[in-house]
Amino acid sequence: MHNSITDLIDKCLKTLDSLQIRKTDVVEVIILAFLLYQVLVWIKRTRAWSLLKGFVVLLIFIFLAWAFQLNTIFWLVQNVFSLGITALIIVFQPELRRALEQLGQQNIFNSLFSLDNSKEVSARFSDKTVNELIKAVYEMAKVKTGALIVIEKNTPLQEYERTGITLDSLLSSQLLINIFEHNTPLHDGAIIVRGDRVISATCYLPLSDNMFLSKELGTRHRAAVGVSEVSDSLTIVVSEETGKVSVASEGKLMRDLAENELRAQLVEAQNKTQETGRFKLWKGRVKKREKNADK
């Protein structure tokens, strides 16, 4: 075993000595590093994270089998590997589909290079809408009225909008409370909010199949997480059993939010002011700029 490892190290060193690094090689390394980072971020957001840890353990086992010359085990691994790839594609088909959907929704060139002129991007919805949402949500929470409110951001939600009843009404706390009131025609399902308007009610949402969600969560919470997994929407849930307020975003569920915490989530989703116009080789998330009248 010692000789095998020594030979492997010698081969690697000889290979490194013979390498001639070009500019294109550096570019390739940067691109591959970026792609690897994006894949790891995607894996961590899905149940594939547990699989990755298991896969690392399997790779260590394979290396030990090769190092100790356990030929039978190594032969079995080589022959089963191709079947394993196919099985992984089948098992993780929903996650792969979501990853491709998210890739199609992003403008890759703009995410890397930004040449826009300086400008302010208008808010998705008004401050009045924020206040009306908070007022309605916590009034419903007090009397344990279940609610499911999906706020559309960049990803279009027409697919789910079509499953409900079209309203296209100006959002107000009274409207939301009336919609989710018990034994009313529109209280089942979710409502979709676009801008300052309630677009549709009684909408059906995809349920999350995340195995790490608490077993005590009901259909509303799983639907909220489900729609946040396939879009960038922000979903507010009021529990009918406990009256607690939760928010689902990016496949994660934040539970038992206080009023100020919900306001912070809504202000972030509001996207009120953005700073653009600076050339950035690697453009991260656009930072919000707060106007200060004294400056």
- Domains of the chain in start order, with CATH, are 2-105 (no CATH), 127-270 (3.40.1700.10)
Q: Would the pLDDT of 288 be above 90?
A: no
pLDDT digits (tens, 9 = 90+) for 54-78: 777 777 877 887 888 778 877 777 7
Alpha-carbon distances, residue 186 vs 180, 223, 244 (angstroms) = 7, 17, 21
When comparing pLDDT for 44 and 246, which is higher?
A: 246
Kindly give, in sequence order, each residue whose CB lies less than 8 Å from that of residue 270, ignoring residues fewer than 6 positions away.
123, 124, 125, 127, 130
Q: Would the pLDDT of 292 be above 60?
A: no
Closest Cα to residue 155, out of 285, 269, 277, 275?
A: 269
Q: How many CB atoms lie under 10 A from the CB of residue 193?
A: 25
pLDDT of residue 68: 81
Kindly give, in sequence order, each residue whose CB lies less than 8 Å from that of residue 96, ignoring residues fewer than 6 positions away.
89
pLDDT of residue 42: 66
Least confident piece of the model among 91-100, 132-141, 240-249: 91-100
When comparing pLDDT for 287 and 78, which is higher?
A: 78
